[in-house]
Amino acid sequence: MRWCSSSAFHLLRCVRLRLCSRRGQNRLPLWIREIWAYMRLLAKSLYFNSLTDSDVVFDSVFEPVFLTVDYVTRWFGLVFVYLVVILTSSIVGIAYVVLLPLILNTYSPPWIAWHVCYGHWNLIMIAFHYYKAANTSPGYPPTEKHDGPVVSVCKKCIIPKPARTHHCGICNRCILKMDHHCPWLNNCVGHFNHRYFFSFCLFMTLGCIYCSISGRNLFLDAYNALETHYQTPAPPYTFKDKMIHKSIIYMWVLTSTVGVALGALTFWHAVLISRGETSIERHINSKETKRMAKWGKVYRNPFNYSRLNNWKIFLGVEKRSHWVTRVLLPSAHPPHGDGLTWAVFPVKKDLIPV
């Protein structure tokens, strides 16, 4: 019996060693096992705790897409800036070469003065605010320890975040009062350049509307000259005439399209400014409003100081003369505050008595 039991033990041991050796030979490569383990970890992270909701699942699943978009936007930022400069310069060139001679030859002196003054004022405002929006730092929280109030710690920067501060994946750092990352500026829109960004959008929209309305009749004449099928022989247009017609059509189509699209964006940002919130805070406040409504409470935006005061704070208007010197003329004045601290629910109804 001892011999039989020892023989059976040795037989089982040999079978086990052989199975282990075969399992080791059929083992997958290390990189495949690492990928499989990472995928299992991602799957388990989706139901890690009770706080997981549809937003967390969506962010986890589409994280590679978000990283790709951030990477592409980061490297193509200068391309978008050059595109804005080239398209704007082309419209300005057509206005000087084609439209200005027609205005000087056909319009009355008062209309000539209006077009020359308004056109150059609008162009100066566009160029100034675009340059300032693209080259002004949006504002960054201090990386060292400070005594200012903080609301959380950034999970990516691992630094304290003041109120209204958010992390930008494209800039790869936290931004004070972040609104969004604008690829057309190759810069974030934050506390110190938000006014420049909105002013650029506003004056660019006004400029596009001005070109679209002023050049409507010229566009119709140029379009009819190129597209109308004549029963009689067509007028003998020279190469210069055809290029002028095409330039007018190009200017009108581009300015009309940009005017509509950028006008809608400008209107939306004007609504947000009136409410005292940024694009990111719009989503946050909407969720908070729904969450508080479930408890029978009303959520109030702590940074909303009434519609007029919101505009005064945003534009930096402290005196009545500032509506002209700081709003209708180029001005590089800084915004209110340092972007680190914010007054909550002020006692005065009118923060700036203007």
Question: pLDDT, tens digit, for every residue of 270-303?
Answer: 999 999 999 999 999 999 999 999 999 999 998 9
Predicted pLDDT of residue 230: 52
Assigned domain for 26 exists: no
**165: in domain:** no
Residue 286 lies in a domain: yes
d(C-alpha 70, C-alpha 180), whole Å? 12
Buried b or exposed e, range 229-240, using 16+ CB within 10 angstroms: eeeeeeeeeeee
Residue 28: inside a domain: no
CA distance 97 to 262: 26
Q: With respect to residue 178, please indicate whether it lies within any of the assigned structural domains.
A: no
Domain that holds residue 80: 55-139+183-328
For the chain, how long is the longest CA-to-CA vector? 125
Q: Report pLDDT for 232.
A: 54
How many domains does one find in the chain?
1
Give the predicted TM-score (pTM) of the model.
0.79
Name the catalytic one among 168, 174, 182, 208. 182
pLDDT for the residue 20: 52
As a residue count, the chain comes to: 354
d(CA 58, CA 50): 16
Q: Give the pLDDT of the chain (354 residues) as one tens digit per residue.
A: 444 445 544 555 655 555 555 544 457 888 888 889 888 887 777 666 666 666 666 766 777 777 777 777 777 888 999 999 999 999 999 999 988 888 888 889 999 999 999 999 999 999 999 999 999 999 999 887 777 788 888 888 888 899 999 999 888 899 999 999 999 999 999 999 999 999 999 999 999 999 999 888 888 888 887 765 555 555 667 778 888 889 999 999 999 999 999 999 999 999 999 999 999 999 999 999 999 999 999 999 989 999 999 999 999 999 999 999 999 999 999 998 888 888 644 444 555 555
Between CA 314 and CA 193 the distance in angstroms is 11
Residue 191, domain member (yes or no): yes
Q: Is 177 contained in some domain? A: no
The pLDDT score that the predictor gives to residue 233 is 57
Give the pair of three-digit tokens for residue 57: 């699942």
Q: Quote the pLDDT of residue 5.
A: 47
Distance (Å, whole) CA 84 – CA 100 = 22
Do 226 and 173 touch, CB atoms closer than 8 A? no
Closest CA relative to residue 255, chosen from 223, 200, 203, 212: 212
182 in active site: yes
Residues 191, 250: Cα–Cα separation, whole Å:
36
pLDDT for position 281 = 94
Cα dihedral value 180, 182, 183, 185, nearest 10: -150
Report yes or no: 303 and 277 within 8 Å, Cβ to Cβ. yes
Nearest CA to 191 out of 52, 316, 317, 22 is that of 316
The two three-digit tokens of residue 329, written as one number? 């003329």
Supply the pLDDT for residue 46: 64
The pLDDT of residue 346 is 46
Q: Is residue 221 part of a domain?
A: yes
